[in-house]
Amino acid sequence: MDFREEAAAIRGDLIALRRELHQIPEIGLDLPKTQAAVLRALEGLPLEITLGQTSTAVTAVLRGGRPGPAVLLRGDMDALPVTEENDAEYVSRHAGTMHACGHDLHTAGLVGAARLLAAHKNELAGDVVFMFQPGEEGWDGAGHMIAEGVLEAAGRKVDAAYGLHVISDMVPRGVFTTKPGPMMAASSGLFVTVVGKGGHGSRPHTTLDPIPVAAEIVTALQNLITRRFSVFEPIVITVGTFHAGTRHNIIPDDATFEATVRTFSEEALAQVEKESVQLAEAIATAHGLTAEVRFVREYPATINDADEAAFVAETVKDLFGEDRYTEMPDPVMGSEDFSRVLEAVPGSYMFYGATVKEDLSEAASNHSPRAAFDDSVLADGAALLAELAVRRMNRG
C-alpha cells in the first residue's frame, strides 16, 4: 500500500470537498448540510454507516478481510460563530459562521482516509471506525458519540484512536507535531453574577454598586493563580465577557462575567474550582453584595499515550521523512473533546501545519476571522491517518 501516491491521486477530490464544506459552515451538534455532504462523499464505499441520535454525527465502520484490532480515526465537522474576512472564492456563504478552526479540512481528510483504506479492504487485518463528529467547539460532541457507542461501533471496544488538527500558524506547513503525555489543557467555565442594588449614578452611596465589586473579583482571580498555585503548575483564567448596565448614569442591579479556566492536573482543577468560587463569594460579601457563582467542568485534558505518540512520530518520519516531524516542546492551553476518547482508549492526537504563510508571525491564528488554511496538505493528512490505522492493526 502506497498511501502517499494513492492520496495524491484523490487530492483534487479532497480539496473540492473541503471547499464545499468551507462554504456551508454549521455550528453545534446539528449540522445537516455537513452531514449530507459527508454521506455523499462516502457513498459507494463498503462501510457500515450509523447516524447520531442526539446529533448529526456519522459513524462509519470498515471491516477488514482478516481479524485483528479495531482502530478509530476521528475528524470533527463543526464551525465557529465568526464572520469570515478572507477573500478566497470559496468563503463562507453563511453570515456570521466560519470554518475558522479548520474542521472542514479534518472532515475532508477523514473522508480521504476512508477512501484509501476502503480500496484495500480485503488486505486489512482488523476494522477501522471513522468518527465524523459534530459539536467539538464547546458542545461536547465526542461525549455524545461515546454515549451512543462510537467506541464499540466495530462490535468491541477500539484498541487505539488517532486524530489530527490543522494549525494556521505556529507550525510550518506540512509538518506534524505531537508529544507524549499532556498535550492540551482541560477547560472549565466560571460564571459569576454579582447582585447588588441599582440606582442613580450621582448617588452611589445609596446603592450597592455591583460593577466595582465584579471588577475586583476579575483582578483577584489573577492573584489567586500567582499566590495560591506553584509557578510550575500551568493555570490560565481569562475573563472573556463582562456585562453590566444600560446607561452611563445608571448603577445597575447586577454585573455578570464569564471566564475560561485551563488546567492540566486534577489536583489543580479541584483547587481552582473550590477557591475561585470562594473568592468571588467572599469579595461580594465583604462589600455587602452577593455573588451567584457556577463552575462548570467542560473538557478534560488531552493526554496522549506515550507509546502511541512515539508510534505517530515514527510513522510520520517513515512515511514523509525526518523533516516533516517535530516534537512539541510544551503542551498548549487550548482544549479538545477528543480528550474523552483518549481517556477511554490508548491513542494520540497531533497537530498538522496548514499555514498559508512562509513567515509564521504573519499568519492569523485558528479562530481568527482571517484564519486561512492551505488545503494542499489534505492528501498527506489522509495518507497519514490511513497509514496509522494499517500499521496499528498489523501490530496486533
Q: For the beta carbon of residue 258, count every other beta carbon within 10 angstroms.
A: 16
* Burial annotation 114-131 (CB, 10 A radius, 16+ → b, else e): bbbbbbbeeebebbbbbb
Residue 101, annotated as binding a ligand: yes
Residue 248, annotated as binding a ligand: no
Query: Locate cell 495524491: which residue?
Result: 8
Show the DSSP H helices in the chain as ranges.
3-9, 11-23, 32-42, 103-118, 141-147, 210-228, 266-286, 306-320, 338-344, 378-395
* Residue 290 C-alpha from the chain's centroid: 35
Residue 165, annotated as binding a ligand: yes
Q: How far apart are CA 106 and CA 99, in angstroms?
A: 11
Q: How far apart are CA 355 and CA 171, in angstroms?
A: 7
| Long-range contact pairs involving 44-47 (C-beta distance under 8 Å, separation at least 24) | 45/114, 45/115, 45/118, 46/118, 46/121, 47/114, 47/118, 47/130
Q: How far apart are CA 355 and CA 362, in angstroms?
A: 10
Residue 103, annotated as binding a ligand: yes
Q: How far apart are CA 230 and CA 184, in angstroms?
A: 19
Q: How far apart are CA 169 and CA 173, in angstroms?
A: 9
Q: How far apart are CA 280 and CA 193, in angstroms?
A: 9
Residue list, annotated binding site: 101, 103, 137, 165, 367
Residue list, annotated binding site for Mn(2+): 101, 103, 137, 165, 367
